[in-house]
Structure 1
């Protein structure tokens, strides 16, 4: 991420991403049968590629 970002799963904050670093969060406590992932970042343009890895 080029800027700090807040990561939410189903409306619950699971962590904050630091600019320029990869990030990972445990989200098991927020999971439901259907889920919504939101990455909130203040930026003037596209953030680039995003990869979601489910382990």
Structure 2
């Protein structure tokens, strides 16, 4: 029983570590997407303005 409990605890800890790493990566990617979207819109609007002129 003790060995099983130790195994379960180690698996849970490993899962938490992996989940936290994936969550950090996901947050960073989401922030990068939010940062890049406005710049792309600005570039498109600038191109449209040049074409209209």
What's the TM-score, normalizing by structure 2? 0.16
Structure ranking higher on relative contact order (CA contacts 8 Å, 6+ apart): 1
What's the TM-score, normalizing by structure 1? 0.16
Tell which structure's C-alpha radius of gyration is larger.
2
The structure richer in helix per residue is: 2
